[in-house]
Each structure stands twice: as C-alpha cells, then as structure tokens.
Amino acid sequence: MRFADNTAKISLASSDILVGQSGNDDFKITWSSLSSLIKVFNDLTYYYTKSDTYSKAETYSKAEIAALISNFAHFEVVAELPTSDISTTTIYLVPKSSSQTDNVYDEYINTDGTSQGWEKVGDTEVDLSDYYNKSATDDLLDLKLSIADIQATINTSTNPPQTKAVKEALDKKPSNSYLGIKNLNYYPYYETSHTDHDVVFTDNGDGTITANGKASGGNGDLNCHYHNPSTDATCTVPNGTYIVTGCPSGGSTSKYYIQVGYRDTNNNFTVYGRDLGEGIEFEANGDYFSTDEVALNITCRVCNNYTANDLLFKPMLRRKGDGDDTWQEYAKSNLELTKAISNPPQVAGTYSLQCVVDALGNKTFSWV
C-alpha cells in the first residue's frame, strides 16, 4: 500500500512495517515491536481513573486554606471580657487584679459566642516557688566540699592516723562517682587470707583473691560475704538486677567458681547462681530479713580434689547496665565517706577528723 504523498508504505508480504523515508533510508519497525508498544499503551496500571481523583469541589483553594488557618485559636489581650462580637476561637487574656503580680493574666474561652458562654481555663502565672534561682544555687554550691578540697587538706595537714583510710578511699574514687565505682562488692571482705581444706587463699589487698593448693576432704572456700541470722550482713544491696563476674576462665562445678546466694523468705540458703568464668545475672527481690533489700553471700570456691595453681579470683558485683565486666577495685561511696568523717574513730593522742573541716574554714559541708 502506498499513500498519496509517497512517504510511507505497508508491505503485507513482509513482517516489517516501513514508516517514512529520508533519502534512501527507510525507518522500520517490526510487528513484534509494534505489538509491545500497543500493550504499553493499553496498560493503565500506573494511572489514576477519574473516580480515583478529587474534584475541584472537594479541594481547598489557597484563599480558603488561609481562611482556615486564621480561624484557629489565638490570643487576644483585653481590658475586660467583651459582650459582643465574641469569638469562639480566641483565648482572651484579662489582666489580674492590681493586688496580684504585674503582667499576669487570666485566660478565658467562650463556648457559644454569648456572654453566658465564658469559661476560665487558667492563667499565665508561673509558680517557681519550688525552684532555685541562680543566686540561691551559687550560695549552696559555695558550701560544698569537693573531693579535691578534702584531698588537698589532708595532704597539707598534720595527717592524723584517722584520716589515712579516708584519704586512700578518696584517691581511688572517680570524680564523677555518686554511689562509688560500679563494683559494689564491699571490701574488706568477711574473710581474709586463710587456708581451707588445704587450699591457701591470699587476700591481695585490692579485692582480688589468689588460690593455691589441692582441696582435700571438701571444698576450699573464701567467703567474701557471709550472712545468716547469727552474723551481721557485710554486703547488702537494694532490690534490682545484678551481675557478678570475676571467676577465672575455665571454671566448672567440679573445678572452681564464684557462688552467689542468700537467705530466702523461709530462711533457707538459696543459690542465685555460679560464675564459671563468664559472669552470672540474678534478680534481688527481698530476703528473710527484708522485703526491700538482700544480704548476699559471695564465695570463691575451689572444689574438692581440684588443684589450684595461682588461680586469681576478681569478684565484682555491679548493677545490670552499669558499665561492663572490666575489673574495677571497690571504692567507698559518698555516703560511706560522709559517715567516716561525721563519726570518725577516736585514737588517744591524735587529732579528730574535725581538723579537715576546720582547715577548710569551718564550712558546713556535704559531698558532691
């Protein structure tokens, strides 16, 4: 077939359709290509129909949107509540009486546009009576003694024997500590260096324990903390989730471990768990002596017939989420240090710890 302008033809004897000519070149498209194009034109998957779109009546114009925004509630300061042209989308601010604080307003809304529709919803007064201002805070901080203050005083004073333990604790204490460092395993321990069932336990003076020897006739134990109705608790923690670590790697229930237990509500000794070298987690939730805290038993144990060769236990107790398993030596908390200074041991012929306070100007102090 040839068109009148002689620019295109369709050859029915061929699988090709030729459309247009340019010089001696023809532009050619196959039937299969044309079929694919027709399919694309008929595929309306990614198109919206008229029913899928909004009509003009269903949309807002720019002016209509501006009008809607202007109708949202806004504030207006008035000398008194209006009696006419009352807006139900306005919060009216009326000055309080002259006997009250200046620049404070009562807040009113109107529910129906009439003089009977007023409702008081509050006022603009801010009550800061329970807050410290900068001046009051500065005054309070002036009365604080930092750890550095105490350390400097002890270092430059006559340094009586009573201050030695406090100074040593302060030297270990991190500056940002509130409850002491994360290791809550109170030191010194209930038991110190001794031999039990032929196992020699050595207290290294920093909270670590070295064990040597073969346990014979029973387990060799060193009790970091031990508590029953006839003994005083040496490590008590508030209810919560805790982690104990510090057993040398490779431990087992037939070799060595750190055991954590307590007295349950029936006064039976109960084991929370045993650290075999990877730590244990336990939940403290009251005991025989208290519903709010637990007195812990923490024991470094070498099992019967096992030979310890310089086993180094580093028992550490911490709250879950407080740091990681990296060993840290126990340090006294602010509360413990405060008690030490408030109630120091008196030694005949020496100064009282009050000299620390006197040297700093007799300030009333607390820990920061």
Query: Residues 81-101: pLDDT tens digits?
Result: 999 988 888 888 998 876 555
**pLDDT of residue 9 exceeding 70:** no
Residue 241: pLDDT band by 50, 70, 90 thresholds?
very high
pLDDT of residue 259: 97
Long-range contact pairs involving 78-83 (C-beta distance under 8 Å, separation at least 24): 81/108, 81/115, 81/118, 83/115
- How large is the average pLDDT for residues 287-300? 91
- Whether residue 215 contacts residue 302, with contact meaning beta carbons closer than 8 Å, is answered with yes
Residue 189: pLDDT band by 50, 70, 90 thresholds?
very high
pLDDT of residue 15: 52
pLDDT of residue 308: 97
Q: Which residue has the higher pLDDT, 159 or 306?
A: 306
- Whether residue 176 contacts residue 147, with contact meaning beta carbons closer than 8 Å, is answered with no
Half-sphere exposure of 266 (CA within 13 A, CB side): 3
**pLDDT of residue 217 exceeding 70:** yes
Q: Percentage of residues in the chain with pLDDT exceeding 90?
A: 29
Q: How many helices (H) and strands (E) does the chain have?
A: 7, 20
pLDDT of residue 100: 58
pLDDT of residue 64: 79
Instruction: Determine which helix (DSSP H) or strand (DSSP E) holds 52, and give its type and residue range.
Output: none
pLDDT of residue 157: 52
pLDDT of residue 81: 92
Average pLDDT, the chain: 76
**pLDDT of residue 185 exceeding 50:** yes
CA angle 301, 325, 331 (to 5 degrees): 80
Half-sphere exposure of 288 (CA within 13 A, CB side): 15
Query: Residues 298-334: pLDDT tens digits?
Result: 999 999 999 999 999 999 999 988 878 888 888 766 5
Structure tokens at 32: 């299969």
CATH 3.80.10 at 194-319, yes or no: no
Domain residue extents for the chain = 1-59, 62-123, 138-179+334-359, 194-319
Residue 349: pLDDT band by 50, 70, 90 thresholds?
very low
How crowded is residue 364: how many other Cβ atoms within 10 Å of its Cβ? 8
What are the backbone angles phi and psi of residue 63, rounded to the nearest 5°? -65, -40
**pLDDT of residue 233 exceeding 90:** no
Helix (H, G, I), strand (E, B) or coil at 213: strand
- How large is the average pLDDT for residues 55-71? 76
User: Which region among 42-46, 124-128, 334-338 has the lowest average model confidence (pLDDT)?
Assistant: 334-338
pLDDT of residue 75: 85
**pLDDT of residue 52 exceeding 80:** no
- Which residue type does 113 have? G
- Cα 349 to Cα 160, 166, 346, 352, distances in angstroms: 10, 19, 9, 10
pLDDT of residue 175: 39
Residue 56: pLDDT band by 50, 70, 90 thresholds?
confident
Q: Which residue has the higher pLDDT, 227 or 246?
A: 246
- How large is the average pLDDT for residues 161-188? 58
Q: Find the DSSP H helices in the chain.
A: 31-42, 62-70, 134-142, 147-156, 162-172, 334-342, 354-359
